[in-house]
Structures are given as C-alpha cells and as structure tokens.
Copies of this chain bind each other. A is one copy, B any other.
C-alpha cells in the first residue's frame, strides 16, 4: 500500500507516533540542547548537536550546525549574524508553520502555500535596567499568515489559531516558562 503523504507529511507515521505516545508517554519526552561560545563583544556562536527523544540519545545531526549571533551597529555590534531576538522569531516562525502543516495534514486540509511575517516590539529600557516596570523581553509578537489552502476562510483562520496554540515555541513564549541558570565550578 502506498504511503499516505499529505502536505509533505507522512500522515500514517504521524498517526502511529501519536498512538505510540498515547500508550507510552515516555516516548514523547524530548530534551533539546545547544552550546554557545562567546567570541568577542556582541559576537557569539551557538552549536546545535545531539538531542534525546523516543527513549534514546540522537548524538548526530546532518547539515550546518553553527550559528553566529551578533548585533547590528546601532546596538553596538558588527552585524555578523542576526541578533538573539531575531533567532527567537526564526524559531517561532518555523514552529507555527510546522504546527499548521502537521495539523492540516491530520485534518485532511490540503495546503498550497503558507507564508508568514512576524514582528515583535522591544523597549530597551528593560535590558538597560532603566525602568523595572518595562518588560525585558518582547512586549508582543504578531504573526500574519498568507495561506492558500483547499478550505474555507473560517477553516483556515481556525487552523491558524489552533496551530499557534499547539506550537511548542509559541507555548514556551505565551506561558511563563522557567529558565534556570547555574555556573559550573571552575
């Protein structure tokens, strides 16, 4: 029997994975990891390598693994890469898109094209410790989708909202997610 591929997603494998996680939630426990090394000033470099999931370590990844992070000149950098809050939007854009594609596939909604624009507002008085009442992070992030799909406008709007509400990056941002820091003994 041919594989059931929809929106480029293997729907049979998706359904099987969901059933497996329902039976054994440990299969769905993942740990993702990144390393970072400071270079100089506002330049640092992040490396994506292994992760844990489906009950085993996955030590190797294909493709490019290193990402340079810098600031533009107006923020005292040399523009050798996007800045940290732009990488956050890169991750969010990918997450809401994949969430939308996967949940559309599960519902049998065929997508022809999906594009999005994201914009977030930051008030630097938070980072600069000028005013403790100003949020340090983004005040708000707006996602605007342009979607061509074999579905009604109401279905598409409901799908976009559902995709956001089931996107792990969006969930991390919309919830108060704990971030802990510790310093290794030298």
Contacts and interface: CB of A to CB of B under 8 A. Distances in A.
Contacts of A181: 96, 142-145, 160-161, 163-164
A16 to B, nearest CB: 10
A74 B98 contact: no
Interface residues of A, number: 130
B90 A173 contact: no
Nearest to A42: B98
A122 B91 CA distance: 15
A63 B130 CA distance: 32
A2 interface: no
Contacts of A46: 89-90, 93-94
Contacts of A108: none
A174 B137 CA distance: 9
A81 B92 CA distance: 15
A72 B51 contact: yes
A29 interface: yes
B123 A170 contact: no
A178 B32 contact: no
Interface of A: 7-10, 13-14, 17-18, 21-22, 25, 28-38, 40-44, 46, 48, 51, 53-54, 58, 61-65, 67-69, 71-72, 74-76, 79-99, 101-102, 111, 113-130, 135-148, 153, 156-157, 160-161, 163-184, 186
